[in-house]
Amino acid sequence: MIPFLSLKDVTALHGAEINEAVSRVVNSGWYLQGEENRKFEEHYAEYIGSRYAIGCANGLDALIWIFRAYIELGVMKPGDEVIVPANTYIATILAITENGLVPVLCEPKLGTLEIDDDKIEQLITPRTKAITVVHLYGRIAISPRIIALCRKYSLKLVEDNAQAHGCVYGPTGQRTGSIGDAAGHSFYPGKNLGALGDGGAVTTDDPALAEAVRTLANYGSQKKYVFRYTGRNSRLDEIQAAVLDVKLRYLEQDNSHRKEVANYYYDNISNPLVSLPERLPDAQNAYHLFPILVAEGKRDELHDYLAENGVGTMIHYPIAPHRQECYAKAAWNTPQLSLPVTEQIAAEELSLPVGPTITPEETATVVDLINRF
């Protein structure tokens, strides 16, 4: 059996230190808003290369707080538009709609699977306030062109870095999460930097945004029993912060394992039914997932064939956000909205195992099976 991702094995990789960190917090008697959060936030901000990191409950909340903070700060108002890739995990879009902002969906490029920077400018209107890029699958999604558009039209650049901890932007060597005005990060257990439960963070260099996010995620309060905003309880707990601080020390090592697996796939998969996304320089892909596209309606067949042979694969994602029931009646989701590339990806994408615990023999087995399909 080659599982898609065994969280048990992932935790066991650094099990002794994780258990030690958890016990330390359990025995400390201090479970929220303490030293573990302070330390992890400092280390994570340093790792990402941003001035501030603010822990919060999960990645969806991190993105929600960024937009909400911009609204509280008067930078955006409900009804404003945010350009966002149409093929993403739905959380990116929920964070926009949750705040009464309007998502303007942009097609990805079939070759990169990331937002198509040739198609962004035509979507900009006087109501556009931000471009959200998602470094989907761990791949760099920001380009010099996107940065130039943000400058030209005075737009905020928001990064969804939920899948790309450790990914680097080629032109400057900066880590993703430090390139835009603000970034949302997820520490969902399966992510490259995963907690033992939910967790998230916002990174930014903007002190006003950082303060607003921290306040919103703590009931809207800076001072006990004094409430500035109608916030929520969306904090990262001390146990998760302590676990994340351990795992952060091994993130580069875990990511280089992912890169070895991915490079093996690139060098050896040769089935003509399968196409691989454009190969990026190693640093520009954190290989959270290894997506392939399977032609001629054979994606589900390949999934089942691999499953029968003991290999776990997953689809990211089988139904595009604009096809979801929750957005069926959304005003922006018009019948004219045409997103053929997004729909092709939803129909053809399959993710191969690429986690930090898959062995070289297992990787070779996956390739042999695919090439014999």
Ligand X SMILES: *Cc1c(COP(=O)(O)O)cnc(C)c1O
Interacting residue ranges for ligand X, rule: CB under 6 A: 58-60, 88-89, 91-92, 134, 160, 162-163, 186, 188, 198, 200
Q: Count the Cβ atoms, other than its own, within 10 Å of residue 229.
A: 17
Q: What is the spatial distance between Cα 160 and Cα 156, in angstroms, rounded to a whole number? A: 13
Q: What is the spatial distance between Cα 182 and Cα 204, in angstroms, rounded to a whole number? A: 5
Cβ at position 63, least distance to ligand X in Å: 6
When the beta carbons of 90 and 273 are compared against ligand X, the nearer one is 90
Cβ at position 141, least distance to ligand X in Å: 10
Cβ at position 61, least distance to ligand X in Å: 7
When the beta carbons of 169 and 188 are compared against ligand X, the nearer one is 188
Beta strand spans in 107-243 (E): 128-134, 156-160, 168-169, 174-175, 182-186, 200-204, 221-223, 226-227
The residue to which tokens 């966002």 are assigned? 84
Task: Locate 21 and state its tokens.
Answer: 């960190």
Cβ at position 354, least distance to ligand X in Å: 15
Q: Count the Cβ atoms, other than its own, within 10 Å of residue 144.
A: 12
Q: What is the spatial distance between Cα 160 and Cα 180, in angstroms, rounded to a whole number? A: 10
Cβ at position 38, least distance to ligand X in Å: 21
Checking 334-337 for CB contacts under 8 A at 24+ apart, the result is 337/105
Distances from the Cα of 295 to the Cαs of 6, 38, 244, 265, in angstroms?
Answer: 28, 48, 39, 18
When the beta carbons of 200 and 355 are compared against ligand X, the nearer one is 200
> Would you give the DSSP letter of residue 261?
H
CB-closest chain residue to ligand X: 59
When the beta carbons of 89 and 367 are compared against ligand X, the nearer one is 89
Task: Locate 235 and state its tokens.
Answer: 């904090």
When the beta carbons of 236 and 262 are compared against ligand X, the nearer one is 236
When the beta carbons of 134 and 157 are compared against ligand X, the nearer one is 134
Query: Which residues on adjacent β-strands are paired with residue 83?
Result: 104, 131
When the beta carbons of 48 and 91 are compared against ligand X, the nearer one is 91
Q: What is the spatial distance between Cα 373 and Cα 355, in angstroms, rounded to a whole number? A: 23
The H-or-E segment that residue 150 falls in is: helix 144-152
Cβ at position 195, least distance to ligand X in Å: 9
When the beta carbons of 186 and 342 are compared against ligand X, the nearer one is 186
Cβ at position 199, least distance to ligand X in Å: 7
When the beta carbons of 59 and 369 are compared against ligand X, the nearer one is 59
What is the three-class DSSP state of 225? coil
Q: What is the spatial distance between Cα 177 and Cα 286, in angstroms, rounded to a whole number? A: 13
Cβ at position 55, least distance to ligand X in Å: 12
At residue 134's C-alpha, the angle toward residues 187 and 349, to 5°, is: 95
Cβ at position 312, least distance to ligand X in Å: 18
